[in-house]
Amino acid sequence: MKKVIDFLGLLVLFFILTGINSYKAYKDFPEPVPTSQGQKIFQEMGCPMCHGHQGLGNGFLAQGLEPKPRNFTSFQEMKGVPYQSMYTAIKDGIPFTGMPAFNLNDQQIDETISYVRSFLTENYITLNTCSNVSQVVSLENVGAGEQFEIEIDKKELISTQLKAGEITLTPNFDAVRSAYKEKKAKLVRVHVNLTQNTKEKKKYLAIIAVRINSCIK
State the DSSP code for 33: P
CB 206 within 8 A of CB 194: yes
What pLDDT sits at residue 91?
Answer: 94
189 forms beta bridges with 211
Between 172 and 29, residue with greater pLDDT: 172
Structural domains in the chain? 2-119 (1.10.760), 121-213 (2.60.40)
**26, 114, 122, 127 from 82: Cα distances, Å:** 31, 12, 20, 19
% of the chain surpassing 70 pLDDT? 80
Residues 98-143 have pLDDT tens digits of 899 999 998 899 889 988 988 888 788 888 999 999 999 888 766 6
CB 204 within 8 A of CB 151: no
Question: What is the model's pTM?
Answer: 0.65
Measured CA to CA, the distance from residue 74 to residue 107 in angstroms comes to: 25
Least confident of 9-18, 49-58, 188-197: 9-18
**What's the start-to-end Cα distance of the chain, in Å?**
44
Residues 19-57 have pLDDT tens digits of 444 444 444 445 556 668 889 999 999 999 999 998 999
Beta-carbon contacts of 214 under 8 Å, excluding residues fewer than 6 positions away, are 130, 131, 177, 180, 186, 187
CB 189 within 8 A of CB 212: yes
